[in-house]
Chains A and B, each alone.
Chain A
């Protein structure tokens, strides 16, 4: 699904990631950990082609990101659900329209079948018509998760998806991710939440990647 081959990334003379070679196989579940500023978000942005590697090759669905035309990259992103740390929305559109956005831009705006269930599941059914600025941090995060999964993507990339959520909602989110993983979806979650990782590892063979000294390492079983 996603493959890095000797990937390095630097910006403004600062090297952030170096010599990364790894593969996220279809149906795998990975956590990405590391200290703040280690490059977790940069790694995720490389994963969906928002950033291009300084050196090395990133392959998405067996296609070199660098060789993808802009429209091809857009089509590739439709196969990926992305939850950003800052949870950006179109602030002038109601929440339901925001969650529907991946369907809308891909010409499937009329497929609203799962929207009500999804909004209920993330506990936002009462906020269908609310505008994003009216939402709390936790509500925005849940909405971002709902938007990421509404297309039933092959890959879900989530950057600190539980950062603003209480324990109960974190567990519900994890359950959703686990269910999606059992359906064959590839999951990569950047998080500091060790409890979340332990809970997940108890249920699926999740692997933990740790960014340390600009490199991504497979973490031990101590987590």
Chain B
């Protein structure tokens, strides 16, 4: 397992060299950082994918509404016309039009097939509405429709869009929470490793104190070593994670959300920050552990 990381003892500066280079804590730190970075890449991908999904769902249904006119066949065209008249005088409605038979047929095709005889079936007439950014008074419109076209039902897409957007938002939140937890877990693991390293090097610390080393010098030796290993471990984990994400099915192919899991465009740059974040987490965790332990060892 120690072979997971390259030999980094040569990278240690003169200060870090006062700490023995061997020991399971050193590679454990790198391994932990690598694993966490690998997982963080997926959490990032999940977060971005959820964000894109939320945007797509939101954009797709934003500023639109539909009116469904259900009426006996001899009244349906009259009521549809009345609805269009009402809409033309409703503030906040930019445009409205009744879908053609062909458009309605294509909407129903996935369920009933392409040869559905729309003309001979009592299918409601659908009216597509495009609203302005300010929106419209849905309650007022419903009241007017009930008077002018009793068979018209307004669907402002809210009951479809809201839960989808909320779900996508929560997925994104889940991704961010995962990254936070991964970071916290990494900090905890590195703190444990640093504490173990400090405890197992009590003799080294005693010798250093004997010759006049200050706490900052001793802490620096451990901090540099753990920071370096965490950064290199995270770099390797990140590389593996990015390769794995790039091998996921393309978002263009059919399959919905799961195939959209990945990075697009500048999103590929975000995982590159993981080694830096890992190094910062390791720096802070080791420094805190080192000074705490040095106080204990007095």
- Complex: A36 Cα to B156 Cα, angstroms: 94
Tell me whether A74 and B209 are in contact in the complex, defined as CB-CB below 8 angstroms, given that A90-B18, A105-B217 are known contacts.
Answer: yes
Within 8 A of B (CB), among A85-107: 88-93, 101-102, 104-106
Task: Decide if A91 touches B20 in the complex (CB within 8 Å).
Answer: yes
User: Chain B contact residues: over half helix, strand or loop, or mixed?
Assistant: helix
Q: Nearest-CB distance from A163 to chain B (Å)?
A: 18
A84 touches B210 (CB 8 A): yes
User: Which residues of A from 174 to 223 have beta carbons under 8 Å from B?
Assistant: none
| List of A residues within 8 angstroms of B208 by Cβ | 90, 101, 105
* Nearest B-chain residue to A105, judged by Cβ: B213
Residue of B nearest to A100 (CB): B211
CB closest chain-B residue, reference A88: B207
Contact of A93 among B18, B209, B217, B294 (CB under 8 A): B18
Of A74, A91, A92, which one neighbours B212 at CB under 8 angstroms? A74
Are B212 and A106 in contact (CB-based, < 8 A)? yes
Identify A92's interface contact among B20, B210, B215, B298, CB under 8 A. B20
In the complex the two chains form, what is the Cα distance from A84 to B14 in whole Å? Answer: 25
B211 x A102 contact (CB < 8 A) = yes
**Counting CB contacts under 8 A, is A126 at the interface?**
no
**B206 to A88, Cβ gap below 8 A?**
yes
Cβ-closest chain A residue relative to B295: A70
Bound Cα distance A93, B217 (Å): 17
For B204, list chain A residues within 8 Å (CB). 90
Q: Determine if B211 and A77 form an interchain contact, defined as CB atoms under 8 angstroms apart.
A: yes
Say yes or no: is B68 at the interface (Cβ < 8 Å to chain A): no
Whether the pair B214, A92 counts as a contact (CB closer than 8 A) is no
Query: Which single residue of chain B is at the shortest CB-CB distance from A89?
Result: B207
> Which chain B residues lie closer than 8 Å to A82 at the CB level?
210-211
Cβ proximity bits B197-232 to A, threshold 8 Å, 1 near / 0 not: 000000110111111111111000000000000000
Chain A CB within 8 A of B142 CB = no
Task: List residues of chain B with CB within 8 A of the CB of A66.
Answer: none
Contact of A62 with B by CB under 8 A: no
Asked if A142 lies at the interface with its beta carbon under 8 angstroms from chain B, I say no
Whole-angstrom CA separation of A76 from B215 in the bound complex: 14
> Interface of B with A (CB < 8 Å)?
14, 17-18, 20-22, 203-204, 206-217, 294, 298
Which residues of A are at the interface with B, using a C-beta cutoff of 8 A?
48, 50, 70-71, 74-78, 82, 84, 88-93, 101-102, 104-106, 109, 147
Beyond A74-B213, A92-B22, A147-B211, list 20 extra A-B contacts (CB 8 Å): A50-B209, A71-B215, A71-B216, A74-B209, A74-B212, A76-B212, A77-B212, A78-B212, A90-B18, A90-B20, A90-B207, A90-B208, A101-B208, A102-B211, A102-B212, A104-B14, A105-B212, A105-B213, A106-B212, A109-B14
